[in-house]
A and B are shown apart, each in its own frame.
Chain A
Amino acid sequence: MAETMLQIDHIDVFYGAIHALKGVSLEVQTGEIVTLIGANGAGKSTTLRTISGLLAPKAGTITFLGADITGKKAHEIVKDGISQVPEGRRVFAEMTVLENLELGAFTRTDKAGIASDLEMVFARFPRLKERRAQLAGTLSGGEQQMLAMGRALMSRPKLLLLDEPSMGLAPLLIREIFDIIADINKEGTTVLLVEQNANMALSIASRAYVLETGRITLSGAAKELAASEDVRKAYLGG
């Protein structure tokens, strides 16, 4: 344990003229669930997008399993073992559930492995199996979230990035989704979770970072942050 999987070192990221991330550093150890919490617009999604290679940092480095992946293209980073469930799920609405899952395995060529992982995803999300031939756009919000997660798992990632998995879902469903995230982690996938629902995120994470207007302002064990007065006031509703 305690081997560093992902190391972000002082990255600066810009959206045009907007300085979105200012010297952000964080790390994720193998086997952990780490959560990044913060208000809307703090730069949480930007951080995940930068790790995935959709944005390139102006300065700083990102190291994954000992290799520098800064500035690598998004499709190459997937091959390295980082998979993302993007904000708003972004399923391919005009394709079937099955095709969405197949696309998740795009980088792989091991047919037998893909088939067994597909069964694994169907076992985890039985509703997807029932709807495998249905167009993804016709699924409910919760089912789309499950599809987006199943799709990300199909690349057999070492590190799973989740961007706001609770967004727009009913409380009962949120509970279900978070249980699944904890399960996925238990079975060996490291997770970096971005959430506005700080309560839920802190309840399953081992460590947490708080992001405020592009800077990390707090970090530590999830339990400690959940107990901290500042965090309670700002993010946990008192």
Chain B
Amino acid sequence: MEVTQQVLQQLINGISLGSIYALIALGYTMIYGIIKLINFAHGDIYMVGAYIGFFSITQAGLGVIPSLMISLVTTGLLGMAVERIAYRPLRHAPRISVLITAIGVSFFLEYTSMYFVSPTPRTFPALFGDVAVDFMGIVINGQQMLILGITAILMVVLTYIVQRTKTGKAMRATSFDTETAELMGINSDRIISITFGIGSALAAVAGVLVGIYYNSIDPLMGIMPGLKAFVAAVLGGIGILPGAVVGGLILGVVEALVSGFLSSTFRDAAAFAILILVLLVRPTGLFGKNTKEKV
């Protein structure tokens, strides 16, 4: 009973953490899907989102939900600006040039932020006190409920946008075949911009949620979750939206179990061991298929 309870508790912790990874991984995978770019600056977009949320809560004195909204919109616009300024001029350049640019954007965001907000970690105010639900010895605290709730809502909204709206269909078409999408009258530059906006907005929400969950943010906080989300996206099959969610959740659960039953020292090692394992055994990821072209 004791062990089962512990496992269940770690599952709850893992799913909470995994939801965060999933939100970041979605942006990674959407951007990869549409312009085949591993956007290494994505983790830093998440960091900026966390800071915008932090300042909305502490300086502007706004509540959690308004702060999330402000961060979501502002960071979404930042993502669109990054695409417009840094990536769009390289649309027809070799992929390696764009990749190097992404690394440049990553450093730019990290160190510009450091200049403006100082490298010292900031402490998020405690918003929930001791709100927690105790269910047969398994504890779900307020922060975790917030993370799970917000993530679930965003997944539903995202699925609706991608599956049902005209813009979503244009996103899928552009990511499948940009040139043919243009022949349908789809302005692919506009669709790519929207994709960056949505992906960045999701990362921003993840940033604010992490701030609330772990209480602490700093300008380099995006590096590790950025890499982990990349692992999650690859695990699920890069370019595939449900893959990013499942990959994120698996990664979160594995990390929680490793921290809980072995040692938190091995947590990061477990994440990257998963990456190596996926690349060895199933390089296309859990949901990936080998694409065959019909002639």
Contact = CB atoms under 8 A, between A and B. Distances in A.
B177 A106 contact: no
Contacts of A84: 183
B176 A103 contact: no
Contact of B169 (A86, A88, A103, A107): A103
B184 A155 contact: yes
Contacts of A107: 184-185
B183 A92 contact: no
A92 B176 contact: yes
Contacts of A141: 294
A93 B185 contact: no
A75 interface: yes
Contact of A90 (B169, B177, B188): B177
A155 B170 CA distance: 15
Interface in A52-90: 52-54, 73-75, 78-79, 83-84, 86, 88, 90
A78 B184 contact: yes
A185 B176 CA distance: 31
Given A95-B169, A168-B295, A106 B176 contact: no
A227 B188 CA distance: 45
A79 to B, nearest CB: 6
B295 A106 contact: no
B102 interface: no
B182 interface: yes
B73 interface: no
Contacts of A155: 184-185
Pick the most buried of B180, B183, B294: most chain A CB atoms within 10 A of its CB.
B183
A contact residues, range? 20 to 34
B294 A93 contact: yes
A150 interface: no
Given A75-B188, A94-B176, A99 B183 contact: no
A64 to B, nearest CB: 15
B278 interface: no
A106 B294 CA distance: 25
11 contacts: A52-B183, A53-B182, A75-B187, A78-B185, A83-B183, A90-B179, A99-B169, A102-B169, A103-B170, A106-B166, A107-B185
Interface of B: 166, 169-170, 172-173, 176-177, 179-188, 294-295
Interface of A: 52-54, 73-75, 78-79, 83-84, 86, 88, 90, 92-95, 99, 102-104, 106-107, 137, 141, 144, 151, 155, 168
Given A86-B183, A99-B169, A103-B173, 8 more contacts: A54-B183, A73-B182, A73-B187, A75-B188, A78-B185, A84-B183, A90-B183, A103-B181
